[in-house]
Amino acid sequence: MGLRMRESGLAGEVVGHARSAATRETALRRGLVHRVCDTAAEAVQGADLVVLCVPVGAMGAVAEAIAPHLEPGATVSDVGSVKRDVIAAVAPHVPDGVHFVPAHPIAGTEHSGPEAGFAELFENRWCLLTPPEGTDPEAAERLARLWRAMGSNVEEMDPEHHDLVLAVTSHAPHLIAYTMVGVADDLRRVTDSEVIKYSAAGFRDFTRIAASDPVMWRDVFLNNKDATLEILGRFTEELFALQRAIRTGDGAMLEDYFTRTRAIRRGIIEAGQDVADPDFGRAARRGVAE
Q: Which of residues 176-195 bind a copy of itself (CB under 8 A)?
A: 176-187, 189-190, 192-195
Which residue's CB is nearer to a copy of itself, number 21 or number 254? 254
Of 36, 125, 144, 159, which one interacts with a copy of itself (CB under 8 A)?
A: 125
Q: Of residues 41, 58, 149, 165, which one binds a copy of itself by CB under 8 A?
A: 165
Which residues, 5 to 44, sit near a copy of itself by CB under 8 A?
A: none
Q: Does 221 bind a copy of itself (CB under 8 A)?
A: yes
Which amino acid, one-letter code, is at 225?
Answer: K
Considering the complex, state which of residue 67 and residue 245 has its C-beta at the smaller distance from a copy of itself. 245
Instruction: For a copy of itself, give the closer residue by CB, 105 or 131.
Output: 105
Residues 53-112 that bind a copy of itself (CB under 8 A): 57, 81, 106-111
- Applying CB under 8 A, among 50, 87, 94, 175 the residue interacting with a copy of itself is 175
State which residue, 28 or 176, has the beta carbon closest to a copy of itself. 176
Nearer residue to a copy of itself within complex by CB, 6 or 142: 6
